[in-house]
Structure 1
Amino acid sequence: MASWVFCNLCFQPPHRKSSFSLTSCGHVYCDSCLRKGKKDECLICQVPCHTVLLSKHTNSNIQAFFLSIDGLCKKYSQETSQISDFQEKHRRRLVAFYQEKVNEIKLFLLYLFDL
């Protein structure tokens, strides 16, 4: 887990014997502190919330919140590059198709008007 992650109640960083959870309101708690509160209520803001256990099996959209900014930029840069290449390839194919149609029309007009 990222070095800046800590329990928002006891301020302890993660260690081997603890697990951490993320609330739907955006707070992070160690398992010890989470057990101190009411079920489905945030210990800090006292609003109804759901919790998700943070682990390597956690949804990738949630895991993204804990990636380093460098890692996140690299991941999305690669994805953006692949998407851009894919779209550009299809744009070039479409332009080539229309260019061929324009050339056919030019040839037809040359034939028609005997230019």
Structure 2
Amino acid sequence: MAAAGPAVVNVKDWIHCNHCYTEPPKDRRNTQFIITSCGHLFCGKCYGEREKFCLVCKASCSVVDLSKQVPPDVMIYFHTPESIIQRFIFQFERVSKFQREQRTRLVKHKIQKLREVAERKEREILLYEKENARLRQIKLSLESRSVSVRPLSSNSTTLRPPPSILRTGCGPIQTPPSFTRPRPSMTLPPSRGFLHH
């Protein structure tokens, strides 16, 4: 919805020449008024085309003819203050709504991204917990096996030779009988002469 244009103030209330105090006639015919860049009003009789300085403050200035097309930045001085306030309130609401919508849009996007990151991290945590539980189970299994093997190693004794081989006291140690087979005898029968048969 477009805002209505600012209402123009009743120029009869205050417009006058700041030099001769002439007011514009009711019919406004053949009447020229100008406004200077320093903020003063003059009639066409007092302020000629050759004037380069304000007749009130003596400052160098530019002028705008109010009987012709007036720029918006100059026309605003002839609007009622109430209409200007309403216009700025309307602009304020439009600007505020635009910025609020853009801000909300960005915040929603960031929240969605954070939610996606949180969900991904939760899935990773579940995977880590499952892996941790599996490793703990493996550790417990290895520890139980270690406990079952330890008593055998702690109760084992040093192997000793049987009593028949090892004697106590100062006697010599008997050695087991030799398993070496006797070598065959090499004795030859008595020789006979070549003449004996």
Amino acid at match of 2:118: K
> When you count strand as a share of all residues, which structure comes out higher?
1
Partner deviation per Cα, 1:59-109 (whole Å, 9 max, x = no partner): 101111221110110111111111111111100100010010111011011
Question: TM-score, with normalisation over the residues of structure 2?
Answer: 0.53
- Structure 2 equivalent of residue 70 of structure 1: 82
Tell me, yes or no, if structure 1 residue 81 matches structure 2 residue 93: yes
Please report the RMSD computed on the Cα atoms of aligned residues, expressed in angstroms: 2.0
- Work out the percentage of aligned pairs sharing the same amino acid: 28
Query: Any stretches of 5+ residues in structure 2 without a counterpart?
Result: 1-9, 130-197
Stretch of structure 1 that moved more, 68-77 or 42-51: 42-51
Question: TM-score, with normalisation over the residues of structure 1?
Answer: 0.87
> When you count helix as a share of all residues, which structure comes out higher?
1
Partner deviation per Cα, 1:25-46 (whole Å, 9 max, x = no partner): 21111112213x8521111122
In terms of Rg, which structure is larger? 2
Distance across 1 between alignment mates of 2:23 and 2:108: 58
Paired residue secondary structure (1:84)? helix
Tell me, yes or no, if structure 1 residue 32 matches structure 2 residue 48: no
- For residue 5 of structure 1, the aligned residue among 15, 39, 46 is 15
The number of equivalent residue pairs is: 114
- For residue 117 of structure 2, the aligned residue among 90, 105, 109 is 105
